[in-house]
Structure 1
């Protein structure tokens, strides 16, 4: 089975635009054969191209004749004349790209850094001054990061030693690496975990050791999710996911941004914010409340509130003893 990386897909879609501008009414089957992918993949690529442009209104986005595509299986492309034009950026847009590239550079290595540094130099030159923002991510062992990136580029499995802070334990795992990405200022590895027999996300700063094997990955990202390039959420609550309704003092309002939470009432009691906060299990939720004692108040379930009070009293009693 041939897999496609995000960069390969981007290059293919960029090449498809001038090809379709020069060849109107190309059958999907012919387009798929020309670019060496399936007809289903071509349809997915076209759906992404339709969201590409210089604005958000008619004439500013690439247009695909959906009627001809669905009825006759042929592709007509319109409103893509902006592609050859030089890109113009405002100072704010260029500064945003500079910050994004600096963040991306934290996860890059070797030739990737050279390409990013070249793009940064051009953007900073265009802005006229360096963007007044620097990017700092949690420290990640450089050797571990390089090992992970090497396994990713070569399609090899990884042996990891991972620290799970919530349970204060270390586990060894064999994984098929899929991608490294940045979320909320941290670097993560998305992978298929053979121990869990499921997709798992690992924080790079919590990987204590990483060893690249010579074994090829058994399960690719494309085979698991149909080749989509949309990153999965780090944590997606389901109908059975444990949660607690909490009242947050203003000093604990940051929990809404840090964890999976929904605001129930922004004026629950004075300056407090009532939220529904999800966790992996009730013991994790109990530890979160205890760590933020005095700033987080349990509304429901009542059992959680009782457990927090009991554990806090036991801790105080231990000090008295």
Structure 2
């Protein structure tokens, strides 16, 4: 990490926490405490009102503001996904606080990010609270393909098949059940909607080509009892 990136990150941390120590910052960025001292001086020289509280750490002067943080589309998608997972908790106070916090976070999204996050929000459903870390590591990419109406090519291996088959698909929605993330997409091989287990996708590539929205509706899909997973 460059010094500039570290300075911006330190400023963000100072803004997000009431008090933080030099040791905590050094551990966070894997640098020496002496380097953190120099970084703090750099921020002070740049006019940032850092307050040093002897024996306790650093803080920012009350009332100091920085420009709103810009979220990337993937970061916004991660928050929307977390919202659906959090809904599975039995603690209503936690649900309320998380919803209010997320509302505040959404308020700083750029308009284009807000629109895409709302689209993704309508196309995710979680049946249970379990979550599995996917070795394929493509959930974020799938979300981008859904919100940008991008064709995707995959090699997909069925549960009872030893070979992966090439598919060109139009990704529309995601749901989670039995610790698995499932992608619902229009499959050009089968000329119909199909459900794909993400952990069985052996190759995944987002294409430049865009597809026309078929006006897929997740709730209608569920009601049709059409969600057998291959």
Larger RCO: Structure 1 or Structure 2 (Cα < 8 Å, ≥ 6 residues apart)? 2
TM-score under structure 2 normalisation?
A: 0.43
TM-score under structure 1 normalisation?
A: 0.32
